[in-house]
Amino acid sequence: MMILAVWRWGNWRNWQNYYPTMLYISSLNLLYNLLCSNFMLWEYQPVWLLDTHPHNIDLGYTFIFLPSLALLFLSNLPEKKPNLSKLAYFFMWTTLSILWELAHYSLKGIKYDHGWTIFYSYAFYWIMYPTLLLHFKKPLYAILLSIPIIIFLLWHFKVPFHLAPLKRS
């Protein structure tokens, strides 16, 4: 469904403008999978339509869904409209995202663990979309802002983080 939406409403002519932010969102999802590989807060599950290994689902999410989402979100942003229009746009995207996630959850296509709930997802979307816009306009600021957010989430959810000792020969 996302591919059809992006094909219809995405600004493919200027995809190069959005490409760094598409990589940014994919990279952050890969980082989540790396840091939380043994302590997943949410994990995609096979459903009747996508009856495959959860890792394959997550790869599709990382390399197809999230970049498409970034392209669709950024290419339709009401740039020259008042801030109230932008706030309404963010509200629309967070609402659509949480409705998509609720549908996915009701089909058992996503599993929450270690204290993560749909309410955290909703709050996360309110951080994610403005950060995508920030990355689109000022990439370094978005990256710097992402660091304390990641540290806070790792701390808040008590994600075990162990650095393997270096072996010297």
Which residues, at least 6 apart from 126, have a Cβ–Cβ distance to it below 8 Å?
90, 94
Which amino acid is located at 112 in the chain? Answer: Y
Instruction: Note whether residue 142 is domain-resident.
Output: yes
Distance of CA 33 to the CA centre of its chain: 12
> What confidence score (pLDDT) does residue 121 get?
97
Range of 129's domain? 22-156
When divided into structural domains, the chain yields a total of 1
Asked whether residue 7 is assigned to any structural domain, the reply reads no
Domain assignment present for residue 110? The answer is yes
> Could you tell me if residue 161 is inside a domain?
no
Evaluate whether residue 5 is within a structural domain: no
Asked whether residue 124 is domain-assigned, the answer is: yes
pLDDT value at residue 97: 95
Whole-number CA gyration radius for the chain: 17
Greatest Cα-to-Cα distance within the chain, rounded to the nearest angstrom: 62
pLDDT by residue for the chain (169 residues), tens digit each?
A: 556 655 555 567 787 899 999 999 999 999 999 999 889 999 988 876 656 676 778 888 899 889 989 999 999 888 777 788 889 999 999 999 999 999 989 999 899 999 999 999 999 999 999 999 999 999 999 999 999 999 999 999 999 976 555 555 5
Q: What is the pLDDT of residue 80?
A: 76
CB atoms within 10 A of CB 22: 21
135: helix, strand or coil:
helix
d(CA 121, CA 124): 5
In a domain, 51, yes or no: yes
Predicted structure pTM score: 0.87
pLDDT of residue 163: 55
Per DSSP, 49 falls in state T
Q: What is the phi-psi region of residue 82: left when phi exceeds 0, alpha when psi lies from -120 to 50, beta otherwise? A: beta
Is 41 exposed, middle or buried (CB count within 10 Å of its CB: 0-12, 13-18, 19+)? Answer: buried
d(CA 93, CA 133): 12
Interior angle at CA 53, CA 47 and CA 54, nearest 5? 75
The CA–CA distances, whole Å, from 30 to 33, 35, 60, 107, 119 equal 5, 9, 12, 24, 22
Assigned domain for 139 exists: yes
